[in-house]
């Protein structure tokens, strides 16, 4: 008798995500893995996001929560043996889930190699270089207190245990560092992790103005997190220059990564001080 494929739950937090969600959900629907459920956790979007998710057949939850609360709600609603934490501006490779399930025979979690969908503008190219720099040095960036690689594909039983470790007041109020917090708590349970290559593409911001607006919000949210008094080490890891940026063989990626961080820094600081 053939063994049935394990169910994979794909969770996607949304807020006014209509511009990119349709492509994201289409990439999930195109997976060659036969057993997939999609859980969209929406924080009262006003742009048709929920209608797009419903049309695609996703299970939809509407909640009053910030981003980490939406992540946790998605994990708790998951029914699959495995859970993928996806964002609404992501697009999956068609075989990403089937390859991920196969790799989980050896590990407890996976990083998904991520590239920019478009590299037409300088900002998009800088983001793409930054990701390549980090992903080329998996061992260096695996420690969540020093590096910035984030697990995305998890065993549901361990992931449920990890999110239960997060203080409730952080779940309720965290906007940024949401994925970093989940990654940190999961890493405390298991360090068995690998990189799945060619798995994911990301819609990056296009212009310096968009980059600044995004990082002004991040800076304000970081100040709010600092007031809670939790996970200070994770905030420091995200702010410092990338590990390995000046290794000779990776120098061009390192230069571009450092330039990206320099462009983000003023907006982050202004947002932090103004919150």
**DSSP-assigned states of every residue in the chain:** -PPPPPPEEEEEEESS-HHHHHHHHHHHHT-S-S-EEEEEEES--SSSHHHHHHHTT-EEEE-S--HHHHHHHHHHH--SSEEEE--TTEEE-TTHHHHHHHHTTT-SEEEEEEEES---SHHHHHHHHHHHHHHTTHHHH-STTT----EEEEEHHHHHHHHHTS-HHHHHH--SSHHHHHHHHHHTT---EEEEEEEEEE----SHHHHHHHHHHHHHHHHHHHHHT--HHHHHHHHSPPTTTT-GGGHHHHHHHHHHHHHHHHHHHHHHHH-
Residue 218 maps to a domain: yes
Task: Count other C-beta atoms under 10 Å from residue 129's C-beta.
Answer: 22
Residue 90 maps to a domain: yes
Residue 2 maps to a domain: no
The predicted structure's pLDDT at residue 3: 62
CATH number for position 26: 3.90.550.10
User: Cα–Cα distance between 56 and 219 in angstroms, integer?
Assistant: 34
Rounded to two decimals, the pTM is 0.93
**pLDDT of 115 over the 90 cut:** yes
Residue 46 maps to a domain: yes
User: Cα–Cα distance between 128 and 59 in angstroms, integer?
Assistant: 32
Residue 220 maps to a domain: yes
> The tokens of 259 are what?
């330039």
Confidence band, pLDDT 50/70/90 cuts, at residue 231: confident
At 239-263, the pLDDT tens digits run 778 889 999 999 999 999 999 999 9
**pLDDT of 138 over the 60 cut:** yes
User: Cα–Cα distance between 239 and 251 in angstroms, integer?
Assistant: 20
Number of domains observed in the structure of the chain: 1
The predicted structure's pLDDT at residue 174: 84
The predicted structure's pLDDT at residue 209: 97
Residue 127 maps to a domain: yes
User: Cα–Cα distance between 222 and 236 in angstroms, integer?
Assistant: 10
Residue 51 maps to a domain: yes
Average pLDDT, the chain: 93
Q: Identify the domain containing residue 25 by its residue range.
A: 8-274
φ/ψ of 111, rounded to 5, equals: -80, 145
Q: Are 219 and 265 in contact (CB under 8 A)?
A: no
Residue 1 maps to a domain: no
């Amino acid at each position: 008798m053939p063994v049935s494929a394990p169910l994979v739950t794909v969770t996607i937090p949304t807020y006014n995500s209509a511009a990119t969600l349709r492509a994201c959900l289409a990439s999930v629907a195109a997976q060659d893995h036969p057993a997939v459920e999609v859980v969209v956790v929406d924080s009262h979007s006003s742009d048709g996001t929920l209608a797009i998710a419903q049309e695609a057949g996703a299970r939809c939850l509407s909640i009053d929560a910030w981003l980490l609360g939406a992540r946790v709600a998605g994990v708790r609603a998951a029914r699959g043996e495995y859970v993928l934490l996806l964002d609404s501006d992501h697009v999956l490779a068609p075989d990403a889930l089937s390859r991920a399930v196969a790799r989980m025979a050896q590990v407890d979690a996976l990083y998904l190699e991520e590239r920019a969908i478009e590299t037409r503008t300088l900002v998009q190219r800088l983001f793409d270089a930054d990701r390549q720099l980090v992903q080329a040095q998996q061992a260096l960036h695996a420690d969540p207190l020093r590096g910035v690689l984030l697990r995305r594909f998890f065993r549901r039983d361990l992931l449920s245990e990890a999110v239960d470790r997060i203080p409730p007041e952080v779940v309720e109020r965290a906007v940024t560092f949401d994925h970093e917090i989940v990654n940190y708590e999961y890493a405390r349970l298991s360090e068995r992790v690998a990189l799945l290559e060619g798995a994911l593409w990301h819609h990056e911001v296009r212009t310096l103005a968009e980059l600044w607006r995004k990082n002004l919000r991040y800076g304000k949210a970081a100040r709010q997190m600092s007031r809670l008094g939790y996970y200070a080490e994770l905030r420091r890891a995200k702010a410092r220059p990338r590990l390995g940026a000046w290794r000779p063989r990776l120098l061009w990626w390192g230069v571009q990564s450092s330039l990206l961080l320099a462009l983000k820094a003023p907006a982050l600081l202004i947002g932090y001080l103004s919150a």
